[in-house]
Chains A and B, each alone.
Chain A
Amino acid sequence: MSATAELPTKEAHVLKGHEGAVLAARFNGDGNYALTCGKDRTIRLWNPHRGILIKTYKSHGREVRDVHVTSDNAKFCSCGGDRQVYYWDVSTGRVIRKFRGHDGEVNAVKFNDSSAVVVSAGFDRSLRVWDCRSHSVEPVQVIDTFLDTVMSVILTKTEIIGGSVDGTVRTFDMRIGREMSDNLGQPVNCISLSNDGNCVLAGCLDSTLRLLDRTTGELLQVYKGHISKSFKTDCCLTNSDAHVVGGSEDGLVLIWDLVDAKVVSKFRAHDLVVTSVSYHPKEDCMLTSSVDGTVRVWKK
């Protein structure tokens, strides 16, 4: 009971503004702001704690699938159906650069720690690394060992980790030049790094979240109970790494205990598919976005 009391299951705000499905909701680095993007081709900057829309960024020609902010909150990048990665300036709202090169929709983008590069994961079965520092339009590197669409990408200080529909979570370690492919046997929808960096949570399309030990590739735990079969639904760990949060296609949000994989909390967050969940880096606060066009802020 005490565990559930800590969880952000009370709706604090509803962020309305997107016309159409919201595909991703992301906190910024310190958790004070949130960026959402959706099918209405806009990216919106919110103050989720007050429920205020701050800015709307329009330039995408198609739906925006993912967005990520730099650690200094000065820039952000976005990607989507128009096969390009947009590199934005937060304050002016202008597109600084567009990285073209993906042959298909781009599913996910991430900055690295120093915000020097953007890594994008695309439908064209590749991860592409784009340089933000130089004016080069060519990707710094194309990682195309995936056999199918790359759905999700996360970066550590030294590694690029991508999750693909081919069922693998591939870790590309730059220090030693190795690629480690963890085959889960199921299409990987979303991957999320634990806060200690030792585990990867992979949401698979068999309605299962799998927690992998990164060093050994061992399957640590399996979380079931939600529905994830055909949509890109996100999952993440709480900031304390005590729980696992996952969105379900029936509008529910489930919170599992990390260790014993019990569903600790299960509540209806949206009417429709929960596309994205994002957990506040410090507080017990959570963002969920849905196809129903709303973004909800959850607090305890």
Chain B
Amino acid sequence: MGSDEEDFVFHGTPIEREEEIGSRKKKAVAGASGNLRTLPAWKQEVTDEEGRRRFHGAFTGGYSAGYYNTVGSKEGWAPQSFTSSRKNRAGARKQSVSDFLDEDERAELEGQSLSASSQFDTFGFTAAEHSRKQAEKEQHERPSAIPGPVHDELVAPVSESIGVKLLLKMGWRRGHSIMDVRASSDARREARKAFLAFSADENTKESSDSLVLENEVDTSLDPQFNEDIKFSESTPVYVLNPKQDLHGLGFDPFKHAPEFREKKRSRLSASKEAGFRKPLSMKESLFGPKSGKIAPGFGIGALEELDVEDEDVYAGYDFDQTYAIEDEQPARPSNDSRLRLTSREHNVLPGFGAASNTDYSVDRFDPPKIPKDFVARHKFPGPLEAESKPTASAPPDVPPPEDNSLKLLIDGFATFVSRCGKLYEDLSREKNESNQLFDFLRGGNGHDYYVRRLWEEQQKRSDQSKLQLDVKVSASVQKMTAETRGSLLGERPLPKSLKETEASASSGGSFQFPTNLSDTFTKSASSQEAADAVKPFKDDMAKQERFEQFLKEKYKGGLRTTDSNRVNSMSESARAQERLDFEAAAEAIEKGKAYKEVRRATELPIDFLAGGLQFTSGGTEQIKDTGVVDMKTSKTYPKREEFQWRPAPLLCKRFDLPDPFMGKPATAPRARNKMDSLIFLPDTVKAASGSGASLSARQVSELQEPKKETSVEEPEVEVEVENVERPVDLYKAIFSDDSEDDDEEQPMNGKRQEGQEKKNEAAATTLNRLIAGDFLESLGKELGFEVPADVTYPEGTKPMEEDNKSKGKPDASSEKRPGLKEKPEEKTSSLTLGSGEEKSEKKREKSPGKWSGGNDLSSSDSSGDERRRRKRSKKDRHRKNDSESDSSSDYHKHRLRRKRRESSREKRSSHKKHTKHYKNSSSSRYSADEERKESKREKRRRRD
């Protein structure tokens, strides 16, 4: 307490401020909350977390409301002063849109867009716009004298532009033309009439009779309208004379006969129907026609007549009724014809008359005559052909230069030039100006040889292209090819190219590989004599003949012209077979093998294999007696194959059958078709199913199988079968030739796959060779040696043969099958089968019974397990067949093994054992089937 405090004297108790009370209360609450509860209810206070009092009495604003918890505001409460509505009740305000708009919205609504101020509005556009808007507004309030929308466009109100102001200052008066007013009275009158034409119904009569009633017009019109007319005088552009008749522009039907006009008008007025308007005079017509756009015949051509659809377009105007009558009234044929006639001549200029007879006629020319020998395809002359002509006379044959590398270079270069044209030669000559190697281009060393080579190549190429073109016309036409010339000259040409063209032409995609390419170079003619003495096909004279022919060709070179002769009797595949056969035989002969062996090789291949001799041709084709093929093809069908198929449980239920797969895990579905697996087989699946690529490729080739075989079977139906669409054209083209002996092969085993893989490889190489084409031919000596080298196996080295021999079981096919390497995948599968069976599995692929086995479809199965199982079962079957001569214990051994392995077939196999002989038992139908199959196979084998 300071001294100054002591000076004051305090009276009464000070009024405490609420906050202070609150805070104090808070403290009090905080201090002794227990006390609070003891307080009576009306003394208790509810506070918020900060200790403020939130609830107030009704007079202090309830819950924390108002201005400091009062009902009032800072200014206090001001009641609205009372105004009586009695006085201004009558003038109740009309609400408008603008009442509810903001300032800016209002500005926007009123269109305060960028525009020229009226001060500089020379041409009155903005003003016109303004006034038009104004007029629009007014329009709503008072109905216009002119109904309809058109007048707004026609008669745009114009405010005073600066030009008008100027004119006014120059003494021009409103409503007068700028030029001499009197002189243009006619025009004014016309304009008025034209305007009247647009005006309302009540004016129609006046306007139509405007010639006579011109004076009355002014009076009859209301003042506003009158003003408009005057207005329009000064702005004639807007007053356009509508063209409402169907006459040609500027045509006056009554020009030379005004009396008719009078007559017509009187008639019209008599009928009270319509108006007649004097057509425009010459002078007016100059601007009159421009008004065509608002004629009633809007969008109608001059020659067309008004249609029903056109009538009601402008409902507000009675143009149709008023004017259409004038000319086109079918009821009045008197002037109809004439009018119609004239209206046709719409393009007659005023002052000109249309000629009565027209000498205009459309000249029609016949299409040019196509010469008979015209080919509807452009044949490019090509640098090649063009250049080959001058050198048509053959340059002298020159021995190649001693330098072998130079010779090679020249050969290759000549081929290149013959392909790319002379230009390339010129280019390279320039480029290699200093290069010694290319001296032959400039007449140096080897030039003659080069010229010769080039000529040869060009000849060959042109011949080939010609051949390809002519093939369809006449396949038999013999061209002077390089080969023929070569044979004439005693050369030994490569027989491939002609062969190829022929083959591709005749069979559409079956190719011969130049497997005997090497023969041409390696075999000496001396071996021919040896072959002559031997007749491996003695029993078939025709065949022997062909074989001799083959040998002749083979060792003498020359053309394989005899091919075409043989086409008739043999199918493509059979011929290929035979050819391979011949080659094999020839090879055997050449190698000094005994004739007997050869014969056995071709007719009884089993013994042949036992002898250790093996024929391969490209590693792809089976050696087979074609006679056997021809005989057998008819019996290859029908061919039965079996697969596992899992019916849906529901299907079994619906058929009231027990599900054979009940409780067994679902097998992966077989690939839907071969292309699917080819394209969509995922990598993992591929890995699982072994070499996916070769597998699918095999499938593709197998797809062709039936077709091929039909061609073997019945050549006359071949065309029909060709029509059946197959989705794999490309693959067909590649593989069709390879799969032609598929009927003999049993698919669905490793070797088969292996063989197929080989085939595919070979096919690929064939393709490559085809692409390489001539290049190979020119440079192909080295390559030619290599081709057979990598596909031919030395005899008797195959372990498989050893196996077969040791087993001593006759198996026709396995020895036919050239040595094929085991694929790793196959190994894994066979491992599970046990080593002993590997051989039998191999063998069965060519078992004579063609009924079983070959599951070309299922091989696309992605589950290796399933395949393996099938293989096993199949193998067992085959095994059974193959080893019929074996002891029955062997048979049962297999049975048991099979039983052990195939849990799914356990029950049935046991069934089989017991019910083998009850063929009619339905439960053992399968065993019965198999038995029958066996016997059939056996029979067939014996027959064969």
**In the complex, per-residue mask of B693-720: 1 if CB is within 8 Å of any chain A CB, else 0:** 0000000000100100110011001001
- A229 close to B637 (CB less than 8 A): no
Tell me if A145 is interfacial: C-beta within 8 Å of chain B: yes
Of the candidates A141, A183, A215, the one whose C-beta lies within 8 Å of that of B639 is A183
Known: A169-B638, A172-B647, A207-B717. 15 other contacts (CB 8 A): A141-B647, A143-B645, A145-B857, A157-B655, A166-B706, A178-B645, A179-B643, A181-B641, A183-B638, A185-B713, A186-B637, A212-B638, A215-B928, A218-B638, A219-B638
- What are 13 pairs between A and B in contact, CB < 8 Å? A113-B655, A129-B651, A143-B645, A145-B643, A172-B645, A174-B647, A174-B652, A180-B643, A183-B637, A185-B638, A186-B637, A215-B932, A219-B638
Closest Cβ–Cβ distance, residue B643 to chain A (whole Å): 4
Chain B, range 620-665, C-beta contacts under 8 Å to A? 636-648, 650-652, 654-658, 660-661
**In the complex, per-residue mask of B673-711: 1 if CB is within 8 Å of any chain A CB, else 0:** 110000000000000000000000000000100100110
Tell me if B670 is interfacial: C-beta within 8 Å of chain A: yes
Complex: how many Å from CA A148 to CA B642? 18
Tell me if B929 is interfacial: C-beta within 8 Å of chain A: yes
Which residues of B line the A interface, CB within 8 A? 636-648, 650-652, 654-658, 660-661, 670, 672-674, 703, 706, 709-710, 713-714, 717, 720-721, 723-724, 726, 851, 857, 908, 925-926, 928-929, 932-933, 936
Closest Cβ–Cβ distance, residue B933 to chain A (whole Å): 6
Of the candidates A113, A175, A180, A185, the one whose C-beta lies within 8 Å of that of B710 is A185
- A182 close to B639 (CB less than 8 A): yes
Sorted from nearest, which 7 A-B pairs have the closest CB atoms? Answer: A217-B640, A179-B645, A185-B637, A141-B648, A177-B660, A116-B654, A183-B639
Chain A residues closer than 8 Å to B639, beta-carbon distance: 182-183, 185, 217
Closest Cβ–Cβ distance, residue A25 to chain B (whole Å): 26
Q: Name the CB-closest residue of A to B646.
A: A177
Of the candidates B642, B709, B713, the one whose C-beta lies within 8 Å of that of A178 is B642
- A179 close to B642 (CB less than 8 A): yes
- B640 close to A140 (CB less than 8 A): no
- A181 close to B642 (CB less than 8 A): yes
Tell me if A117 is interfacial: C-beta within 8 Å of chain B: yes
A-side interface mostly: loop
Chain A residues closer than 8 Å to B672, beta-carbon distance: 125, 144-145
Chain B residues closer than 8 Å to A147, beta-carbon distance: 673-674, 703, 857
Tell me if A176 is interfacial: C-beta within 8 Å of chain B: yes
Tell me if A246 is interfacial: C-beta within 8 Å of chain B: no
For A133, A157, A179, the residue with the greatest tally of chain B CB atoms inside 10 Å of its CB is A179
Q: Name the CB-closest residue of A to B904.
A: A177
Chain B residues closer than 8 Å to A32, beta-carbon distance: none
Chain A residues closer than 8 Å to B936, beta-carbon distance: 216, 218
Chain B residues closer than 8 Å to A263, beta-carbon distance: none
Tell me if A60 is interfacial: C-beta within 8 Å of chain B: no
Closest Cβ–Cβ distance, residue B701 to chain A (whole Å): 13
Of the candidates A141, A185, A206, the one whose C-beta lies within 8 Å of that of B651 is A141
Tell me if A150 is interfacial: C-beta within 8 Å of chain B: no
Closest Cβ–Cβ distance, residue B918 to chain A (whole Å): 14
Tell me if A253 is interfacial: C-beta within 8 Å of chain B: no
Chain B residues closer than 8 Å to A207, beta-carbon distance: 717
Chain A residues closer than 8 Å to B660, beta-carbon distance: 174-177
Of the candidates B645, B646, B658, B721, the one whose C-beta lies within 8 Å of that of A206 is B721
Q: Name the CB-closest residue of A to B719.
A: A229
Chain A residues closer than 8 Å to B640, beta-carbon distance: 180-183, 216-217
Closest Cβ–Cβ distance, residue A215 to chain B (whole Å): 6
Chain B residues closer than 8 Å to A133, beta-carbon distance: 654
Chain A, range 190-245, C-beta contacts under 8 Å to B? 205-207, 210, 212, 215-219, 229-230
Tell me if A167 is interfacial: C-beta within 8 Å of chain B: yes
- A125 close to B673 (CB less than 8 A): yes
- A217 close to B703 (CB less than 8 A): no
Chain A residues closer than 8 Å to B933, beta-carbon distance: 216
- B710 close to A186 (CB less than 8 A): yes
Of the candidates A158, A179, A187, A219, the one whose C-beta lies within 8 Å of that of B657 is A158
Chain B residues closer than 8 Å to A131, beta-carbon distance: 650, 654
Chain A residues closer than 8 Å to B648, beta-carbon distance: 129, 140-141
**In the complex, per-residue mask of A126-164: 1 if CB is within 8 Å of any chain B CB, else 0:** 000101010000001101110110000000011000000
Complex: how many Å from CA A144 to CA B661? 19
**In the complex, per-residue mask of A245-264: 1 if CB is within 8 Å of any chain B CB, else 0:** 00000000000000000000
- B654 close to A148 (CB less than 8 A): no
Tell me if A184 is interfacial: C-beta within 8 Å of chain B: yes
Complex: how many Å from CA A157 to CA B654? 11
- B654 close to A185 (CB less than 8 A): no
Complex: how many Å from CA A91 to CA B639? 45
Chain A, range 101-119, C-beta contacts under 8 Å to B? 112-114, 116-117
Complex: how many Å from CA A186 to CA B712? 12
- B643 close to A140 (CB less than 8 A): no
Chain A residues closer than 8 Å to B674, beta-carbon distance: 147
Chain B residues closer than 8 Å to A217, beta-carbon distance: 638-640, 851
Tell me if A69 is interfacial: C-beta within 8 Å of chain B: no
Q: Name the CB-closest residue of B to A187.
A: B724
Known: A167-B706, A206-B717, A229-B720. A177 touches B654 (CB 8 A): no
Q: Name the CB-closest residue of A to B860.
A: A145
Tell me if A37 is interfacial: C-beta within 8 Å of chain B: no
- B638 close to A180 (CB less than 8 A): no
Complex: how many Å from CA A175 to CA B709? 33
Complex: how many Å from CA A176 to CA B905? 10
- A117 close to B638 (CB less than 8 A): no
Tell me if A285 is interfacial: C-beta within 8 Å of chain B: no
Chain B residues closer than 8 Å to A218, beta-carbon distance: 638, 936
Q: Name the CB-closest residue of A to B656.
A: A114
Q: Name the CB-closest residue of B to A181.
A: B641
Closest Cβ–Cβ distance, residue B636 to chain A (whole Å): 7
Closest Cβ–Cβ distance, residue A289 to chain B (whole Å): 24
Q: Name the CB-closest residue of B to A172.
A: B645
Of the candidates A140, A172, A183, A215, the one whose C-beta lies within 8 Å of that of B654 is A140
Chain B residues closer than 8 Å to A167, beta-carbon distance: 706, 710
Chain B residues closer than 8 Å to A185, beta-carbon distance: 636-639, 706, 709-710, 713
Closest Cβ–Cβ distance, residue A104 to chain B (whole Å): 12
Closest Cβ–Cβ distance, residue B173 to chain A (whole Å): 80
Q: Name the CB-closest residue of B to A220.
A: B638
Complex: how many Å from CA A144 to CA B714? 29
Closest Cβ–Cβ distance, residue B869 to chain A (whole Å): 13
Known: A183-B638, A218-B638. A178 touches B720 (CB 8 A): no
Chain A residues closer than 8 Å to B714, beta-carbon distance: 206
Closest Cβ–Cβ distance, residue A297 to chain B (whole Å): 32
- B650 close to A182 (CB less than 8 A): no
Known: A145-B857, A181-B640. A174 touches B651 (CB 8 A): yes
Chain B residues closer than 8 Å to A34, beta-carbon distance: none
Q: Name the CB-closest residue of A to B725.
A: A148
Closest Cβ–Cβ distance, residue A248 to chain B (whole Å): 15
- B647 close to A177 (CB less than 8 A): yes
Known: A187-B724, A216-B933. A206 touches B710 (CB 8 A): yes
Tell me if A165 is interfacial: C-beta within 8 Å of chain B: yes
Known: A185-B713, A217-B851, A219-B637. A148 touches B646 (CB 8 A): no
Chain A residues closer than 8 Å to B638, beta-carbon distance: 169, 182-185, 210, 212, 217-219
Chain B residues closer than 8 Å to A175, beta-carbon distance: 657-658, 660
For A131, A176, A207, the residue with the greatest tally of chain B CB atoms inside 10 Å of its CB is A176
Chain A residues closer than 8 Å to B726, beta-carbon distance: 148
Q: Name the CB-closest residue of B to A202.
A: B638
Of the candidates B657, B673, B723, the one whose C-beta lies within 8 Å of that of A174 is B657
Chain A residues closer than 8 Å to B713, beta-carbon distance: 185
- B857 close to A148 (CB less than 8 A): no
Chain B residues closer than 8 Å to A210, beta-carbon distance: 638
Chain B residues closer than 8 Å to A148, beta-carbon distance: 724, 726
Complex: how many Å from CA A133 to CA B651? 11
Closest Cβ–Cβ distance, residue A139 to chain B (whole Å): 9
Complex: how many Å from CA A199 to CA B638? 13
Q: Name the CB-closest residue of A to B645.
A: A179
